[in-house]
C-alpha cells in the first residue's frame, strides 16, 4: 500500500508534525507501506528519493499552488493521501485527493484557526472560548477552510478525546473520527539521581503560563533557596520572561536554555526533580508524557487532553491554569516531600508505558489498511 504524507514541516524543522512524519517515513515500510513525504522547506543533502520539498522562498499562495501540483503528481500513484494539518498542507492535499479520487485522511493536533488567530490576528481567548465566538474575516476564512477539509475527509485522526470533541463541534461526523494517542520513546531506566530542579518545557507563548510559574517559583525561593527552575524552549515571550526574571532578581535560580536537541532535553528530564507545565491549552502533550516516562512527578493543568494522561493525586497533580495560589500550595508540597515526588513519579512512569510509538504505529496501520 502506498501512502503519500503531506506535512507543513519536516526535519530539520522542529515540532510535533515534523517528528511524527519522520517516524512514519522510517517505520511504515516495516509494515508493508511505501511512504513518501511532501513538505514545505528547502531541500536537504540527506533527502532521499521519498522526500519532496516546496521551497518557502516562493511567495505564499504561489508555493501552495506548487505544493498542490506536487501532491497531485505524486498522488496519482498513491493509495492514500495523509495530511498533517487542515489548511497549509490539508487544503492542497484534499483538493489533489478529490481530483484523483484517492482516499484522504487528516491528523488534527489542534485548532489551526485558533493558532493562526493568536499568532497573526490578535486573538487572546483560549481554544474552548474560541469555539463559541466569531472573529474578523481572515480568522473566519481560516476557520471555514479548516471545517471544510475536516468534514470532507474520509477519516480524521486526533490524539485525544478532547480534540475529538473539538472537531465534532466543527460538524465532522463521529464515525469518521478516530482517537490514536501519540507515542513516545521510553527511556531504558529511571534515574536514581535527582537534582532539586523544576523543569518546564514548551514554546514560549502566552498560553503556556511561564510568567505565572516563574512568579510562583520566585515566591518559594525564600523557603527553597537550593531549588532551580529551568525553562526549556524558544518563542516570542523569551525576552519578556528574561526581563521579568531580571526584575525579580532571581539570579541563577531561573535558567532559560532556549531550544535544545532531543538528547540534551532528555538529560535534563533524567536529572530533574519535578516537571511543571502551567498551560492553558494542550491537545495531547508529548512533553508531559515524556516527563512521565522519565519517572518525573508532573504538576500541570486540567486544560485540554491533560486529564486523559494525568489522574489527579495518583500519577500527577492537576491544577487550574494560572491559579497562583494553587500552584504555590502544590508546588511547595512537592518540593518539600521527596517521598511524594517518588510515588507520583513511579506511577507516572507506569502510565507512560501505555503511550509507546509501537502501539501508535500499530493502531495507525490498522486504520490505513481498513480505508
With cell 491554569, the residue in question is: 321
Superfamily name and number for 2-183+356-370: Glycogen Phosphorylase B; (3.40.50.2000)
- The rounded percent of the chain whose pLDDT value lies above 90 is 88
Please give the average per-residue pLDDT across 49-61, as a whole number: 95
pLDDT, position 59: 95
CATH architecture, range 197-352: 3-Layer(aba) Sandwich (3.40)
Handedness of CA 290, 235, 143, 3 (dihedral sign): negative
Report pLDDT digits (tens) over 206-247: 899 999 999 999 999 999 999 999 999 998 899 999 999 999
With a cut of 90, say whether residue 17 has pLDDT above it: no
Report pLDDT digits (tens) over 349-362: 999 999 999 999 99
Confidence band (pLDDT; 50, 70, 90) for 158? very high
Is the CB of residue 359 less than 8 Å from the CB of residue 183?
Answer: yes
Is the CB of residue 276 less than 8 Å from the CB of residue 213?
Answer: yes
Q: What is the mean pLDDT of the chain?
A: 94
Paired residues of 301 in beta bridges: 319
pLDDT, position 364: 96
Domain with CATH 3.40.50.2000 in the chain: 2-183+356-370, 197-352
pLDDT, position 239: 94
**CA-CA distance, 332 to 216, in Å (whole number)?**
10
**CA-CA distance, 152 to 154, in Å (whole number)?**
7
With a cut of 80, say whether residue 14 has pLDDT above it: no
pLDDT, position 13: 86
Report pLDDT digits (tens) over 112-132: 999 999 989 999 999 999 999
Confidence band (pLDDT; 50, 70, 90) for 337? very high
Amino acid at each position: 500500500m502506498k501512502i503519500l504524507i503531506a506535512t507543513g514541516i519536516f526535519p530539520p524543522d522542529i515540532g510535533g508534525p515534523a517528528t511524527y512524519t519522520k517516524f512514519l517515513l522510517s517505520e511504515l515500510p516495516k509494515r508493508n507501506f511505501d511512504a513518501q513525504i511532501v513538505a514545505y522547506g528547502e531541500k536537504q543533502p540527506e533527502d532521499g528519493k521519498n522526500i519532496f520539498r516546496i521551497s518557502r522562498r516562493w511567495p505564499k499562495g504561489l508555493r501552495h499552488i506548487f505544493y498542490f501540483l506536487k501532491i497531485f503528481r505524486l498522488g496519482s500513484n498513491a493509495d492514500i493521501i495523509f495530511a498533517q494539518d487542515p489548511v497549509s498542507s490539508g487544503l492542497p492535499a484534499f483538493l489533489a485527493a478529490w481530483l484523483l479520487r484517492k482516499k484522504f485522511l487528516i491528523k488534527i493536533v489542534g485548532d489551526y484557526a485558533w493558532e493562526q488567530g493568536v499568532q497573526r490576528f490578535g486573538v487572546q481567548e483560549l481554544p474552548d472560548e474560541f469555539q463559541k465566538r466569531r472573529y474578523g474575516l481572515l480568522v473566519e476564512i481560516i476557520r471555514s477552510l479548516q471545517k471544510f477539509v475536516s468534514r470532507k475527509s474520509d477519516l480524521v485522526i486526533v490524539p485525544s478525546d478532547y480534540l475529538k470533541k473539538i472537531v465534532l463541534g466543527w460538524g465532522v461526523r463521529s464515525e469518521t473520527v478516530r482517537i490514536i494517542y501519540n507515542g513516545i520513546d521510553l527511556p531504558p531506566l529511571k534515574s536514581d539521581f535527582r537534582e532539586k530542579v523544576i523543569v518546564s518545557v514548551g514554546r514560549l507563548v502566552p498560553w503556556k503560563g511561564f510568567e505565572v510559574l516563574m512568579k510562583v517559583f520566585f515566591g518559594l525561593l525564600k523557603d527553597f533557596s537550593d531549588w532551580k527552575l529551568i525553562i526549556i524552549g524558544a518563542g516570542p515571550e523569551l525576552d519578556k520572561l528574561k526581563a521579568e526574571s531580571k526584575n525579580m532578581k532571581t539570579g541563577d535560580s531561573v535558567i532559560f536554555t532556549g531550544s535544545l536537541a532531543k538528547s540534551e532535553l532528555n538529560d535534563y528530564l533524567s536529572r530533574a526533580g519535578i516537571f511543571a507545565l502551567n498551560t492553558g491549552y494542550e491537545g495531547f502533550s508529548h512533553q508531559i508524557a515524556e516527563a512521565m516516562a522519565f519517572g518525573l512527578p508532573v504538576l500541570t493543568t486540567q486544560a485540554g487532553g491533560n486529564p486523559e494522561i494525568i489522574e489527579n493525586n495518583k500519577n500527577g497533580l492537576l491544577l487550574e491554569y494560572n491559579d497562583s495560589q494553587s500552584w504555590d500550595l502544590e508546588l511547595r508540597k512537592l518540593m518539600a516531600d521527596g517521598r511524594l515526588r517518588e510515588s507520583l513519579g513511579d506511577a507516572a512512569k507506569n502510565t507512560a508505558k501505555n503511550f509507546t510509538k509501537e502501539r501508535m504505529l500499530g493502531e495507525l496501520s490498522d486504520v490505513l489498511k481498513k480505508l
